[in-house]
Amino acid sequence: MNEIDEETAAGLRSIAREAAESGAEIACTDFREGIGNDFKRDQMDPVSRADREAQDRIVEILAERDPAAAIVGEENDAEKTVPDSGPAWIIDPIDGTNNFVRGNRLWGVSLARTVDGEPVAAATVLPAIGDTYTAGPGVVERNGVECSVSERTVPSSLIVAPIFGLKQRDRDDYNVVTSYIHEELGDLRRLGSGQTSMAMVACGEIDAAISTVHMTAWDTVAGAHMVRAGGGRVTDLAGDRWRHDSDSLVATNGEIHEDVLSALRDRLDWD
Ligand SMILES: O=P(O)(O)OC[C@H]1O[C@](O)(COP(=O)(O)O)[C@@H](O)[C@@H]1O
Ligand SMILES: [Mg+2]
């Protein structure tokens, strides 16, 4: 973890929350208004005016409050790569756009602040549900109340979210992961928002989130930081510490981590 002093960390966390809330306010004006949307890669990859305008507003705020930091963002022409040196913000103006454009409340505005590629603060705001998750080094809060990962270890009690699998090419892996969950664990949650899924792991609402493939920084960095801040563990399938450029992501409450990794590796014939 990067060494930054407590006051700086608290300031960055508060900027993250304020900027995410401002983005959320913009997005909410279009929610359930039947405004329509375009598509990027395919029909399961929508983008709306709300995504673009929320990101623009967030960028404005960050440029004013933290001008030295680079900005990485999902939409518009923002930089797409997290810099390995110096400060940066990573923005997903709407994580869960498929839910958003259908009028489903499960979408969030998510921000992470990194130093040298490692997160130091994060916020994920779910305005339509009313939950706000924030994290600094070693602490995660939901609506201002400190939280932690679950303590569940019994396989049949675990609820796990696959957070990948929209792309057809990932469906074989996705089927392996869902079979594992159905055959060995308690239940599956597929929320349509990776950031929300990881915030929920951080606060013990679910027990793990899994992707067997690389995911973009705006879908992952804030959530991975929250899981660690809540006492959980985030690695790749090999068990190495997860980074924004890792080729897979396994985020758990920590207790179950080795068992989940080993079950996944067995089922994926992974070496
Ligand atoms: O399977 P893929 O294509 O990597 O997409 C998975 C990602 O898509 C999402 O469900 C939706 O992301 P956006 O709504 O920001 O486009 C992410 O939360 C999720 O983690
Ligand atoms: Mg998005």
pLDDT digits (tens, 9 = 90+) for 19-55: 999 999 999 999 999 888 889 988 888 888 999 999 9
User: 77 or 150: whose pLDDT is higher?
Assistant: 150
Which ligand 1 atom is nearest residue 166's CA?
1
Ligand nearest to the CA of 177: 1
The interface predicted TM-score (ipTM) is: 0.92
Give the mutation target among 58, 164, 166 for probing the ligand 1 site: most ligand atoms within 8 A of CB: 166
Give the mutation target among 91, 201, 215 for probing the ligand 1 site: most ligand atoms within 8 A of CB: 215
Greatest distance between any 2 Cα atoms in the chain: 50
Q: Tally Cβ neighbours within 10 Å of residue 261.
A: 20
66-97 tens-digit pLDDT? 999 999 999 988 889 999 999 999 999 999 99
Contact 37 CB / ligand 1 (< 6 Å): no
Domain ranges for the chain = 6-147, 155-268
Average pLDDT rounded to a whole number, residues 148-168: 97
Contact 137 CB / ligand 1 (< 6 Å): no
Give the distance (Å) from ligand 2 centre to CA of residue 198: 15
Nearest CA to ligand 1 atom 15: 95
Distances (CA, A) of 254 to 149, 198, 220, 234: 8, 13, 18, 8
CATH superfamily of 6-147: Fructose-1,6-Bisphosphatase, subunit A, domain 1 (3.30.540.10)
What's the CATH number of domain 155-268, 3.50.50.60, 3.40.190.80, 3.30.590.20, 2.10.109.10?
A: 3.40.190.80
Reported as a pLDDT band with limits 50, 70 and 90, residue 158 is very high
Residue pair 106/192 in contact (Cβ under 8 Å)? The answer is yes
Contact 54 CB / ligand 1 (< 6 Å): no
Question: Alpha-carbon distance 196 to 133, whole Å?
Answer: 9
pTM of the model: 0.96
218-236 tens-digit pLDDT? 999 999 999 999 999 999 9
pLDDT value of residue 45: 86
Contact 219 CB / ligand 1 (< 6 Å): yes
